[in-house]
Amino acid sequence: MIRNKSMRRASLVSAIVATGAMVLSTLPAQAATPGVTATEIKLGISSPLTGSAGLSYGKVPGAMKAYFNYINANGGVYGRKITLISRDDKYLPTAAATQTTNLILKDNVFALVGALGTATHSKAYKAAALAKNNVPDLFINTGFSGFTDQTKYPTTFMVLPTYAMEAKVIAKAIKDNFAGQASFLIAQDDEFGTDGVAGFKTAGHTFTLAPILYPQGSMTSARAEAALTGLSAVPGKPVVVLFGTTDVTATILKAAEKLALTTKFTWYAGSVGADANTLLALGVKPTTVNGVISASFMPDAKDLTDPYVKQFADINTKYNKGITFDNYVLAAMNSAMLTVQALRAAGKDLTRAGIMSAIEAKGSTFASAGLVPLGYSATSRIGYNGYWVSQLNEKGEGKPYGGKLVIYTTDSGAGAVEVSTFVRPTMPKNGIPTNS
Amino acid sequence: MLKGTQSKKRLVLFIAFGWALLILSNQVGDLKLYQGSFVATYALAITSIILLTGYSGQLSLGHSALMAVGAYAGALSIFNAGLNPIVSLIIAVLAAGTFGLILGVIAARLSGPYLAGTTLALAVSLPTLANQFSILGAEEGIVFDVGPAPARFGEDFSQYKWFFWISSLAALIMVWFIANLLSSRYGRTFKALRDNSIAAELSGINVGRVKVMAFALSSGVAGLSGALLVMLISGVSPSAFPLSLSFALLTGAVVTGLYNLKGVILGGLVLVAIPEIADSLVSRIGGSEGFTTTLPGFLVSALLILAVVFTPNGPGHLIKRKHHKQKVL
């Protein structure tokens, strides 16, 4: 009896101890989700605020903060306010590595959002041990197809389509609209340009001459003039595809102005290098900008008839005072809206693994300003998977080429470029997502 | 006899310092270890500038390019040849040293602003050249992965502690070697060249040869720091070595004091700590994003002016002078 009693006591004690241990072992795990408290979710972004890249991309963190402040003012995400900690990486790999590490180890953020640049982010990803720590790396601003490799970047979700996709869409547009004309490619000689070159090759497009490749930062006026002089000897009205950043597009277009060659060519600027506001600000004449063809996956920031654009422009006016609303601000606020939906889809018990699973499961249905579909799934970390072809006018507005909006979707590999009937989801009321 | 004692003292000092760092590495968190790795790396780069500019009197504005040579050589030997990381660091030293030797021969006839201009041009052009060769991985660059720490250190041994150990050990060994070299006949030869090259030549010193030697040695040290730097960011690419890095290192060398190695850690600390100080200042007193981003530059400029005004030969020299005064009294 005594023996039974003592055994029972021992069983009871061990049961209590085991239950206690289980509770204790689960409690710290929940409480220990970095960057998440009952009232706050801390996110981080490492991007250029200073230096030449900071001139254009420096607006990104501010625009994201503005949208998050708008959400915070309207109740936050399940009652939690979003705090975005921004660190300046000057578009330098060393700074990106240290700043991203600071965000993880010092600022203790829950996730990263909107990191920018391939050379910078590929270093930062490894240096900050994002994969090892399972840190969600959300909606990065680079189209380098290498980031789709889930073995190397298991926590990364892209938002931009890949450069290879863009090249394939441009190749189709040239084939459909400028067959018979010579075509040339002037591209940045790095992963950006080479990804594009690979895309043209996959699409079966052959340029009349070998692509003119230049290292980043090396395209001077003299070099641009020499290149254009050489190409101008070709008869007809050749298509010149510019696959570089907007400042280089401006250098080349101004060289064409100087040589009186603006009407000699049909200009086709890639999405990265066709920000009309920047082109005009850098001194390209409105008459030159008029007619430049480009590819985009977002609506034009000047199109205030678009409900998403109008909503984001209103938020910008109220929460991002003094900042001009342009394509960079629009894209940044759109990424912020995707982030809020991802946080909501992950549920009230927010975990790092949970938010990544939520994007995989529901990300393709998130509301966004993008005019092309989102491609998130268990096997794909690519965001937008297509483009529409636009043409700039003198005011710098991007209008559908040929007067009709045609959406093309494709992949980064050998898949065909197809016309899509995609209709984007309706904007959440007042731009505040309520998904779950 | 005296020289032997000094050398032994230095060895004991470096070993003691190494032990202190080893103990320290078990007491601090990952962030401090990561920052400490950068301090060691920058201290090494500053050592190479002090060796070249402070001791042999040759002004280089392009040390980032020499670091890039070492970084690419080290990365290629790991990434392409699959060599051991330790071997890759040695290759980084040799490759940058050889490059410096060739550059030194070419630039031996240059001095002052002409040499500064040549090295400046090198800093601008050399990293972008990497874009021309596919083997160097273009703008994305190539991976520099030293791998995880040996399993015998345990599962809790973090990547950052491993970085700290490697960079601290490499820096200690190299600075010890350079300190010994500078206190030898070669150091005196370098100083003679710096103070008066004609007098040095009249004393029988082969000025050209000594200049080239200083350049090669300095490049080798810079190459090692370049390889360590890209180890810390896990890969090498042209944009990892901007011109601004050369200027930052030169600033660190001036704050340290160009004529002795005693304050190199201080130089490294300054380069790593300034952004942190700026951050904490801004978080305490508040301020716009523009203020945050411009404050580090302002602090560095202020520190540079203060260093030039109050300790033109560096804090190490100041301590030495005080010590000397106390002895006299």
Q: What is the mean pLDDT of residues B266-272?
A: 86
Does residue A11 surpass a pLDDT of 90? no
Q: Is residue A126 part of a domain?
A: yes
A73, A119: one domain: yes
Cα B157 to Cα B179: distance, rounded to the nearest angstrom:
32
Measure B113 CA to nearest chain A CA, in Å.
Answer: 25
Q: Is residue A417 part of a domain?
A: no
Q: Is residue A389 part of a domain?
A: no
Tell me which amino acid residue B105 is. V
A89, A117: one domain: yes
Does residue B138 surpass a pLDDT of 90? no
A171, A237: one domain: yes
8 Å CB contact of B235 and A91: no
A199, A269: one domain: yes
- From chain B, the residues in CB contact with A120 under 8 A are 239
Our measurement of the distance from residue B184's CA atom to the centroid of its chain's CA atoms, rounded to an integer in Å, reads 21
Q: How confident is the model at residue B82 (pLDDT cuts 50, 70, 90)?
A: confident
Measure A9 CA to nearest chain B CA, in Å.
Answer: 38
8 Å CB contact of A190 and B29: no
CATH number for the domain spanning A282: value is 3.40.50.2300
Question: How far apart, in Å, are the Cα atoms of A331 and each of A62, A141, A275?
Answer: 12, 9, 12
* ipTM for the predicted complex: 0.75
Per the structure, the count of domains in chain A is: 2
In this predicted model, which residue has the larger pLDDT, B290 or B229?
Answer: B229
Q: Which residue of B has its CA nearest to A194?
A: B138
Show the tokens assigned to B121: 């041009």
Question: How far apart, in Å, are the Cα atoms of B26 and each of A89, A398, B36?
Answer: 29, 58, 13
Q: Which SS3 state, helix, strand or coil, does residue A427 take?
A: coil
Contact B265, B17 (CB under 8 A): no
- From chain B, the residues in CB contact with A144 under 8 A are 140
- How much of chain B, in percent, has pLDDT values that exceed 90? 28
User: In B35-62, which positions are buried (b, 16+ CB within 10 angstroms) versus exposed (e)?
Assistant: bbbbbbbbbbbbbbbbbbbbbbbbbbbb
A85, A144: one domain: yes
8 Å CB contact of B140 and A118: yes
A72-93, pLDDT tens digit by residue? 999 999 999 999 999 988 888 8
Among the partner-chain residues A49, A93, A101, the one whose CB lies closest to the CB of B237 is A93
A348, A360: one domain: yes
Task: Please indicate if any CB of chain A lies within 8 Å of the CB of B237.
Answer: yes
Q: How confident is the model at residue A17 (pLDDT cuts 50, 70, 90)?
A: very low
Task: Please indicate if any CB of chain A lies within 8 Å of the CB of B128.
Answer: yes
Cα A147 to Cα A212: distance, rounded to the nearest angstrom:
25
Measure B111 CA to nearest chain A CA, in Å.
Answer: 29
Boundary (domain end) residue, out of A296, A322, A337 = A296
Q: Which residues pair with A47 in a beta bridge?
A: A88
Contact B47, B264 (CB under 8 A): yes
Helical segments of A35-90, H only: 51-57, 59-73
Q: Is residue A357 part of a domain?
A: yes
Among the partner-chain residues A49, A94, A102, the one whose CB lies closest to the CB of B293 is A49
Of A16-20, A151-155, A169-173, B14-18, the one with minimum mean pLDDT is A16-20
Q: Which SS3 state, helix, strand or coil, does residue A369 take?
A: coil
Does residue A27 surpass a pLDDT of 50? no
Cα A96 to Cα A118: distance, rounded to the nearest angstrom:
11
Cα B280 to Cα B270: distance, rounded to the nearest angstrom:
15
Q: Phi/psi class of residue B183: alpha, beta or left (left: φ > 0; alpha: ψ in -120 to 50)?
A: alpha
Measure A62 CA to nearest chain B CA, in Å.
Answer: 9
Task: Please indicate if any CB of chain A lies within 8 Å of the CB of B313.
Answer: no
- From chain A, the residues in CB contact with B235 under 8 A are 93, 122-123, 126
Among the partner-chain residues A122, A129, A191, the one whose CB lies closest to the CB of B235 is A122
A202, A258: one domain: yes
Q: Which residue of A has its CA nearest to B297?
A: A50
Q: Is residue A244 part of a domain?
A: yes
| Surface of B (24-53) touching A: CB under 8 A | 29-31, 34, 38
Among the partner-chain residues A105, A120, A218, the one whose CB lies closest to the CB of B31 is A105
A312, A362: one domain: yes
Q: What is the mean pLDDT of residues A231-236?
A: 93
User: What pLDDT was estimated at residue B32?
Assistant: 92
Q: How confident is the model at residue A19 (pLDDT cuts 50, 70, 90)?
A: very low
In sequence order, which residues have a C-beta less than 8 Å from that of residue A396 and are 6 or more positions away? A276, A277, A279, A280, A286, A289, A302
In sequence order, which residues have a C-beta less than 8 Å from that of residue B94 and are 6 or more positions away? B73, B220, B223
Q: Which residues pair with A239 in a beta bridge?
A: A183, A266
Q: Is residue A25 part of a domain?
A: no
User: What pLDDT was estimated at residue A30?
Assistant: 44
A173, A194: one domain: yes
Contact A140, A121 (CB under 8 A): yes
A153, A180: one domain: no
Cα A423 to Cα A305: distance, rounded to the nearest angstrom:
16
A86, A133: one domain: yes
Secondary structure letter of residue B156 according to DSSP: T
A336-363, pLDDT tens digit by residue? 999 999 999 999 999 999 999 999 999 9
User: What pLDDT was estimated at residue A117?
Assistant: 86
8 Å CB contact of A101 and B240: no
Burial class (CB in 10 A: 0-12, 13-18, 19+), B3: exposed
Show the tokens assigned to B104: 């030194």
Contact B246, B62 (CB under 8 A): yes
- From chain B, the residues in CB contact with A191 under 8 A are 138-140
Contact A341, A433 (CB under 8 A): yes
- From chain A, the residues in CB contact with B294 under 8 A are 50
Boundary (domain end) residue, out of A296, A315, A335 = A296
Q: What is the mean pLDDT of residues A188-198?
A: 81
8 Å CB contact of A98 and B245: no
Closest among B219, B287, B233, B291 to B68, alpha carbons compared: B219
Q: Annotate B242-257 with DSSP letters as a single string.
A: -HHHHHHHHHHHHHH-
Measure A64 CA to nearest chain B CA, in Å.
Answer: 14
Show the tokens assigned to A178: 């400028």
Mean per-residue pLDDT of chain B: 83
Among the partner-chain residues B31, B128, B234, the one whose CB lies closest to the CB of A127 is B234
Residue A86's φ and ψ, nearest 5 degrees, are -110, 135
Cα B175 to Cα A370: distance, rounded to the nearest angstrom:
56
User: In A21-41, which positions are buried (b, 16+ CB within 10 angstroms) versus exposed (e)?
Assistant: eeeeeeeeeeeebebbeeeeb
A238-250, pLDDT tens digit by residue? 999 999 888 899 9
8 Å CB contact of A215 and B245: no
8 Å CB contact of B233 and A216: no
Give the residue carrying structure tokens 């055994």. A7
Q: By residue range, what is the domain housing residue A172?
A: 163-296
Cα A235 to Cα A265: distance, rounded to the nearest angstrom:
10
A290, A176: one domain: yes
Among the partner-chain residues B31, B139, B294, the one whose CB lies closest to the CB of A190 is B139
Q: What is the mean pLDDT of residues A247-269?
A: 95
Cα A139 to Cα B42: distance, rounded to the nearest angstrom:
33
Q: Is residue A248 part of a domain?
A: yes
Cα B53 to Cα B218: distance, rounded to the nearest angstrom:
9
Q: Is residue A405 part of a domain?
A: no
Show the tokens assigned to A169: 């869409």
- How much of chain A, in percent, has pLDDT values that exceed 70? 92
Boundary (domain end) residue, out of A356, A384, A412 = A384
